[in-house]
Amino acid sequence: MNRLVVTGANGLLGSGITRATSPFRRAGRQVLGFGSKELDITDAAALNDTVGPGDVVINCAAYTGVDAAETEADKAFAINGVGPGLVARACANKGARLLHISTAYVFDGSSSSPWETWSPTAPSSVYGKSKLAGEEAARAALPDARIVRTMWLYSGTDRDFPAALVRRCSRGEHVAVVTDQIASPTYVDDLVSALFDLVAHPNPPRLLHATGGGAVSKYRFARAIIEAAGLDADLLRPCRTSDYRDAATRPRNAVLSNSSWIDCGLTPLPHWRDGLRRAVRAAVRDIRS
C-alpha cells in the first residue's frame, strides 16, 4: 500500500480514521483525508486526479440526512448512489483498493433475527435506497471492492446521539426516545481499528457487517448513556416509532450479524457498552468545557 485515502474525512467515521493513522505514517505511508469541499465524490475527473496506483481508499463520504433525503432524493442518490460507483471506477482505473461504508438501512427492518450479508435487501426509505444503489454501483465498477455495513455509529462528540442526549439532559430537558427500534451501537474508534484490520487481511469477503457486540433498543441505549453520565434517567420518556412524524421510515430491527466478519478470521468489535463508557466521558468533558 502506498497511501491511505479517506473520503468524507470531516464526518464521524472519516475523522476517526484520519485521527488514528499514526501506524501508517510511522511506516512511511502517506495518509490523505478529504472532506466534501476538498473532494467531491460525484466529480469523476477529481477522483481520477486524486486516486493513485496502490492506494487504499476508504469511502466514508455520504449524504446522511435520513429524513431530508425524502425531499432531496436527487442529492441523496447523487452522493450515496452515483458517487460510490465513481470512486470505485477511479480505483479500478488506477489499480487501487476500495473499502466502501454502507448501512443497515438497506434492509426493511422486518426480520426478528440479525441481518446476514446474504439477507434480501429491501430498503424502505430514500436514504436506504440510495445507499443500496451505492453498493451496487461500487460493486459493478470494481467487483473486488469491499463493502462494510455498520449501524448506530457514536463517539460522544459533536452532535452525535450520546453527545446531544447528555447535553439536553444536563440542562434538565425531557427527551422522548423510541423503544421499538433496535440495533448494535458501534463506537467509532472500535470500527476504525476493525477497518485497519480489514485493510491488512489478505483476502476478506467482499461484503461484511461490522458493528459493536450485543443489541439494544434506542431507549435502553439512551438510559445507559444517561446513567453512565450520572444524570437523571427519569428525564427520558419512552415512546413508540408511531408517535413520531418522521419523514423517513426507520428499520425497527437494524441488528447486523457479524458472522461474516468473524468467519474470515477478523476480531469481532467490542460490546457496545465498552465503547459507551469512553464516549460518555467525551460527552461530559464537552459540556463542562
pLDDT for position 1 = 59
pLDDT for position 103 = 98
59 bridge partner residues = 7, 100
State the Cα–Cα distance between residues 248 and 129, nearest whole angstrom: 11
Mean pLDDT, 10 residues at a time, the chain of 289 residues: 92 95 81 97 98 97 97 98 98 98 98 97 98 98 98 92 95 97 97 96 97 98 97 97 90 97 97 94 83
pLDDT for position 88 = 99
pLDDT for position 199 = 94
pLDDT for position 263 = 97
State the Cα–Cα distance between residues 34 and 18, nearest whole angstrom: 10
pLDDT for position 37 = 96
pLDDT for position 230 = 95
pLDDT for position 223 = 98
pLDDT for position 289 = 65
**170 grid coordinates:** 444536563
* Structural contact between residues 61 and 36, judged by C-beta atoms closer than 8 angstroms: yes
State the Cα–Cα distance between residues 141 and 72, nearest whole angstrom: 25
227 bridge partner residues = none
pLDDT for position 23 = 77
182 bridge partner residues = 217, 253
Nearest by Cα to 68 from 53, 79, 83: 79
Nearest by Cα to 241 from 256, 254, 228: 254
What is the DSSP secondary-structure string of 198-246?
A: HHH-SS--SEEE---BS-EEHHHHHHHHHHHTT--GGGEEEE-GGGS--
Nearest by Cα to 198 from 130, 264, 243: 264
Q: Which residues are catalytic?
A: 127
Contacts of 49 (CB under 8 A, 6+ apart): none
pLDDT for position 70 = 97
